[in-house]
Every structure is written in structure tokens, then in C-alpha cells.
Amino acid sequence: AQRVTQPEKLLSVFKGAPVELKCNYSYSGSPELFWYVQYSRQRLQLLLRHISRESIKGFTADLNKGETSFHLKKPFAQEEDSAMYYCALSPARGAQKLVFGQGTRLTINP
């Protein structure tokens, strides 16, 4: 069965500090991994996906198949990064449904 685990429900860091949101998954095949973000009073939206290998708003995430992890990182947190972050897995290309983790609420303190 596919499962996504985000061990931290809440994460609080100071502005300018590095931030890492953890995501681990269990799946026997080759999944696609995503990070979705929901800012206050806004819709859930895609932040980044592992196949793009890009940096969005200073965030990066590397898929580690050995550790089955897809941690989200940013070297210097900004106050506008405060939001709810969800890690998600798509079981296979072409199979579009997403399996989400429970989410991590990130708060950046001034």
C-alpha cells in the first residue's frame, strides 16, 4: 500500500534560519513525489515536483530512493513561507490520484 508520512505536524523556525520539512513514503514501485502548499485563506497549490528538479521560492526537494524520503528544504526561511505543507505521492505515471501526507504547519517567527 502507498503511504506518505510527515512526522512533524507543527514546525516553527525563526526568519533567516534553515528549514527542513520531512517526508517519507512507502511504495514498492517508482512513484512521483510532490510538495503542495496552502497559504492562509488560499487554495492548495503545487509547490514543486521531483521530476522537475527545480527550485521554487527558494525551496528544493531531493528524492532519495534509498531512504524513501523527499524532504523539503530552504536555506533561509522567510515570513511569507508560513503555510501548511503537504507531501504527496502519485503511485505511477499515468495513475493520477495523489496520496497525501497529513501535512506540516510551518510557522516562521520574525
Partner 1 sequence: GAGVSQSPSNKVTEKGKDVELRCDPISGHTALYWYRQSLGQGLEFLIYFQGNSAPDKSGLPSDRFSAERTGGSVSTLTIQRTQQEDSAVYLCASSFNTGGGASYEQYFGPGTRLTVT
25 binds partner 1 (CB under 8 A): no
Spatial CA neighbour of 67 closest among 7, 34, 26, 101: 26
- Selected range binding partner 1 among 14-22, 38-46, 53-61, 69-77, rule: CB under 8 A: 38-46
Residue closer to partner 1 by CB (options 15, 68) is 68
The reply to whether 96 sits near partner 1 by the rule CB under 8 A is yes
Question: Using CA atoms, how far apart are residues 104 and 96, in angstroms rounded to an integer?
Answer: 23
Cβ(18)–Cβ(75) below 8 Å: yes
- The one-letter amino acid code at 96 reads Q
- What is the contact surface with partner 1 in residues (CB under 8 A)? 32, 34, 43-46, 49, 51, 86, 88, 90, 93-103
